[in-house]
A and B are shown apart, each in its own frame.
Chain A
Amino acid sequence: MTEPGTELKTPLYAKHVAHGGKIVPFAGYLLPVQYEAGVIREHQAVRENVGLFDVSHMGEVLFEGPDALANIQRLLCNDYATLQDGRVRYSPMLNAQGGVIDDVLVYRYAQEKYLMVVNAANRHKDVAHILAERFGQADVTDISDQLCQLALQGPKAEAVLRTLVPAEQIPQKYYSFIPEVQVGGIPVLLSRTGYTGEDGFELYAKAEQAEALFDVLCAAGEPFGLQLCGLGCRDTLRMEAAMPLYGHEMDDTVTPLETGLGHYVKLDKPSFIGREALLAAGEPKRARIGLKMIGRGIAREHFPVYAGERRIGQTTSGTHCPTVGPVAMALVEAPYQTVGTQLVVEIRGQRVAAEIVPLPFYARKK
């Protein structure tokens, strides 16, 4: 963890302060947890209109060279052999024991050029791992400090961009991107991705152009009700969408199969780090479940979960979500994952009833 007082500022720190952001330390950075509107209104703005987030703390690592793809194929358990130029794919990155080092997005520019986007808190651990495992002709460069990243999220995100960018330069498919688009005269990697469960975009630009890009998006978004959004609603939005968060739903001791990411694990790939351990472990012994609180109370992370008197696991994330109310995710013994099962969460000494519900808690209408 970062020592208090040594946190970094993103290129938009002054903007957050000027706009009334309540600044907190997060993953080694000083970032707004909310603005004056508050978590609930910021959350609702993303569900109904459009919100703008500074996610410049995320790390970016460039892979270039004839063996770039081979390195990525070995580092990640998802399959990138079939990824086309201009497309994005998610994957856990595993250690030799099958635990999750990080979960990442990979952007394919070309056969020999990829961008890996990693969690801020894991960036240095990831880069050390990637370099230790590197082979052949592949240049690996951590370009995190050169870039800013803004997330424009919500059903009106595309309408905002349309006022700035010709329609044909807006990626149409989810998880696709265009490497260079001019947004208000600023060159941007424009990606149709996000972490909110809504349609939306993530924009990567040079760090020195962060403030100009922020201003362009704020001005363009104003007629659409654009709301500045902090980390607080980023968490409630991803929670409703049941998107796992590193350090909560997974870590170095949890396999992707246990935490419900089996879809992103291609065991039929000839080799990747962690594959042998996953095969040896067989059927996962734990499962990630969604819980809706029945009794009065809000489950937070690391609260014990019981089936009757038997302790079967613990919550990994939990809060009161603006759209769906008090919910939690938990890692529990695999036999206890049937939707409708009644369980108990211990909330600061109180036993509170909860029921297993399907994930995600919230899915947007397509």
Chain B
Amino acid sequence: MEIKNDRLYAESHEWVLFENETTATVGLSDFAQSELGDLVFVNLPQVGDTVTVGETFADVESVKAVSDIYSPVTGTVAAINEALLDAPQTINEDAYGAWLVKVENITAKGALMDAAAYRALTEK
């Protein structure tokens, strides 16, 4: 299970990579994709949508089930990874490359963990 040291993690298994204080990219951790299994569908918000800490902003579906994705930050969607809509399996293949959304104007962050703390969570 890969956990990258360059970013932060939410308890609900999203990763957050900050470019600066108010801009970040969000994706799903390698642990999350492994637990979810083969992903076959992704729903993303639209550019300009507001996302809020702890609230669902996207969902992914495996063959078996739907899972909500929760926002680790509050802000505005600046970009979405449209390539995922046609190739959701990219998340399984490269969880840290397959970002979901870029968020700007970030005004709040959830309780985020560093890689060591997140590793401890996944090994519980």
Give the residue among B43, B62, B66, B92 with the most A Cβ atoms within 10 A.
B62
Assembly CA distance A296 to B66 (angstroms): 14
Q: Which of A315-337 contact B (CB under 8 A)?
A: 319-320, 322, 326
Give the residue among A39, A326, A348 with the most B Cβ atoms within 10 A.
A39
Contact: B38 with A39, CB < 8 Å? yes
Q: Tell me if B41 is interfacial: C-beta within 8 Å of chain A.
A: yes
Chain A 15-54 per-residue mask, 1 if CB under 8 angstroms from chain B, else 0: 0000000100000000001100011100000000000000
Give the residue among B38, B40, B66 with the most A Cβ atoms within 10 A.
B38
Contact: B66 with A300, CB < 8 Å? yes
Chain B 48-67 per-residue mask, 1 if CB under 8 angstroms from chain A, else 0: 00000000000001111010
* B89 (CB) vs chain A CBs: closest residue: A40
Contact: A298 with B40, CB < 8 Å? yes
List residues of chain A with CB within 8 A of the CB of B63: 39-40, 232, 236, 319-320, 322
Contact: B37 with A34, CB < 8 Å? yes
Min Cβ gap B2→A in Å is: 16
Q: Which of A197-239 contact B (CB under 8 A)?
A: 232, 235-236
Min Cβ gap B88→A in Å is: 9
Min Cβ gap A102→B in Å is: 24
* B64 (CB) vs chain A CBs: closest residue: A232
* A350 (CB) vs chain B CBs: closest residue: B43
Assembly CA distance A180 to B9 (angstroms): 57
Q: Tell me if A297 is interfacial: C-beta within 8 Å of chain B.
A: yes
Assembly CA distance A297 to B63 (angstroms): 12
List residues of chain B with CB within 8 A of the CB of A38: 37-38, 92
* Inter-chain contact total with CB atoms closer than 8 Å: 38
Q: Which of A256-310 contact B (CB under 8 A)?
A: 296-298, 300
Assembly CA distance A296 to B40 (angstroms): 11
Assembly CA distance A34 to B65 (angstroms): 13
Contact: B64 with A39, CB < 8 Å? yes
List residues of chain B with CB within 8 A of the CB of A348: 66
- How extensive is the interface on chain B, given as a class? 10 to 19
Contact: B37 with A326, CB < 8 Å? no
List residues of chain B with CB within 8 A of the CB of A320: 40-41, 61, 63
Min Cβ gap B80→A in Å is: 14
List residues of chain B with CB within 8 A of the CB of A326: 40-41
Contact: A39 with B62, CB < 8 Å? yes
Min Cβ gap A352→B in Å is: 11
* A231 (CB) vs chain B CBs: closest residue: B64
Chain B 15-56 per-residue mask, 1 if CB under 8 angstroms from chain A, else 0: 000000000000000000000011011010000000000000
* B85 (CB) vs chain A CBs: closest residue: A296
List residues of chain A with CB within 8 A of the CB of B92: 38
Assembly CA distance A40 to B63 (angstroms): 8
Give the residue among B43, B63, B64 with the most A Cβ atoms within 10 A.
B63
* B42 (CB) vs chain A CBs: closest residue: A296
Assembly CA distance A319 to B37 (angstroms): 14
Assembly CA distance A39 to B64 (angstroms): 9
Q: Which of B37, B38, B41, B64 contacts A297 (CB 8 A)?
A: B41
Min Cβ gap B1→A in Å is: 13
Contact: B64 with A319, CB < 8 Å? yes
Contact: A40 with B66, CB < 8 Å? no
List residues of chain A with CB within 8 A of the CB of B61: 298, 320
Min Cβ gap B21→A in Å is: 35
Contact: A232 with B37, CB < 8 Å? yes
Contact: A33 with B64, CB < 8 Å? yes
Assembly CA distance A232 to B38 (angstroms): 11
Assembly CA distance A326 to B40 (angstroms): 9
List residues of chain A with CB within 8 A of the CB of B43: 296
Assembly CA distance A296 to B41 (angstroms): 9
Assembly CA distance A322 to B41 (angstroms): 12
Could you list some 27 contacts between A and B, CB below 8 A? A33-B64, A34-B37, A38-B37, A38-B38, A38-B92, A39-B37, A39-B38, A39-B62, A39-B63, A40-B38, A40-B40, A40-B63, A232-B37, A232-B64, A236-B63, A296-B41, A296-B43, A296-B85, A297-B41, A298-B61, A300-B66, A320-B40, A320-B41, A320-B61, A320-B63, A322-B63, A348-B66
Q: Told that A39-B37, A298-B40, A326-B41 touch, could you supply 16 new A-B pairs with CB distance under 8 A?
A: A22-B37, A33-B64, A34-B37, A39-B38, A39-B62, A39-B64, A40-B38, A40-B63, A232-B37, A235-B64, A296-B85, A297-B41, A298-B66, A320-B41, A320-B63, A326-B40
